[in-house]
Structures are given as structure tokens and as C-alpha cells.
Copies of this chain bind each other. A is one copy, B any other.
Amino acid sequence: MAAISGGKTYHHGDLRNALICAAVDLATEGGPERVVLREAARRVGVSPTAAYRHFDGRGELLRTVRTHAQRLLADAMERAAAREPGADDPALAAERRVAALCRGYVGFAVDQPGLYRAAFCAPRPAAPDEPAQDRQTPDPELRAFTLLREALEALARTGTPRFGVRPASGAAAWSAVHGLSLLLLEGPLRRLSAQRRNAVVDTTLAMVVSGTRTH
């Protein structure tokens, strides 16, 4: 049983999870660099080294947070797409879905900058010995990318025959929304007014939708 009453027990009962929650909170507040083992332990009310019973160290804790953040990002995208009204024209619907997913993506980044950055924090230093992988799909875990790619493929299928989708257009589209998010978040485009920001987002989405098609 978890300790229900206020009385502290020597064993926490669910420390791993509690630490993850605290770490996610930290990331939410200040991004990956604020995910600090000692602080997470402090918030849970446990000694710093206790965390080592559940994680290899700060690195693994951070990786766990990253996984959570990626999930939340994909959730936000799906919610945004679900809110989008359907359309009679399937091509229009597909186009709208792509745009909605992208908006959800950028919206999550802007609303949850800490989590967004945590979702893409690199496992530094990158092990240079890892084998080159040649998939176009980078990581099955990354639902965000899958959503985007599938939406683009659906868009291609609905198009008139003279349209097609370039092979790596998923990655290209992703690049655009990812770069846009980072420039808005912590890059030189932070500090834009909401109005200008929307204009930039719209222009970028137009580029993605119209620019991924061959003609």
C-alpha cells in the first residue's frame, strides 16, 4: 500500500514514478536543463542518492522525461487535428489535417516550451559509434513524426494525379515546424507579437502544404 496517512515510511512505495512526475514538472517549468536529480529528490522528499536505485543517473531520468514529453506533444497534435472540422472534399480535409497537426505541434511548443525542449533534448554527448540507420522513420516512439508523415501521405493520395509527394517530404515538413518552433521559442523569433507570430506560422504552413508536392 502506498503511504496514505501523513506518516512517512522509510520506503516511499512508488519512488520511481514520483521522481518522474517531479522531473516532468521541472522540465515543464524550465526545460531539460532544469531537470536536476537533487531537486527532483527534494520535491519528493527523499535523499538525492535514492534516485540511483531507480535510474542510472540524471541522464536516464532525463531520457524518461523526454519520452513523456514526446507523448504529450503527439497528444496535443491529435487533439488539434480532432478539433478540426471535416470537409466534404477529401483533398481539402487532408490538407486541413496536415495544417491542424502542424498547428498543434507549434502550439504545443509555444504553450509548453519546457516540455517541448525536453522532448528533443539530445542524449549528449552523442555516442559516435552508433551505426548509421537508414530508415526514413527515425524512431517508432516518435508518434509526432508518424502522425505528420501519415497525414502527408493521405494528402498525396487524395491529390489529383499530377500531384505526388516527394520521398522525404515528411522529414522536410517536420523540419519546417520544428525549426519554426525553436526559432519562436528560444531563437531569434522569440519576442514576436502574437500577431506576427501567427503570420509566420501561416506562411510556414503554406510552404509545407504547397511545397511538399511535386508539380
Contact = CB atoms under 8 A, between A and B. Distances in A.
A150 interface: no
Interface string A188-215: 1111110110011011101111111001
Interface in A121-179: 122, 124-126, 130-134, 136, 138-139, 142, 145, 166-169, 171-179
Contacts of A139: 188
Contacts of A133: 191-193
A181 B175 CA distance: 8
Q: How large, as a class, is the contact surface on chain A?
A: 35 or more
Contacts of A186: 120, 122, 124, 126
7 contacts: A122-B186, A168-B202, A169-B203, A172-B176, A174-B179, A178-B179, A209-B211
A33 interface: yes
B171 A189 contact: yes
**Among the interface residues A30, A181, A183, A211, which one has the most CB atoms of the partner chain B within 10 A?**
A211
Given A132-B192, A168-B202, A207-B208, 7 more contacts: A120-B187, A122-B187, A138-B187, A168-B204, A179-B180, A179-B181, A211-B212
A188 B137 CA distance: 9
A193 B134 contact: yes
B124 A31 contact: yes
A192 B167 CA distance: 15
B189 A138 contact: yes
A107 to B, nearest CB: 15
Contacts of A209: 211
Nearest to A190: B126
Interface string A1-40: 0000000000000000000000000000011010000000
Contacts of A110: none
Nearest to A130: B191
A182 interface: yes
Contact of A182 (B125, B182, B202, B206): B182
Given A30-B125, A142-B188, A211-B208, A200 B176 contact: no
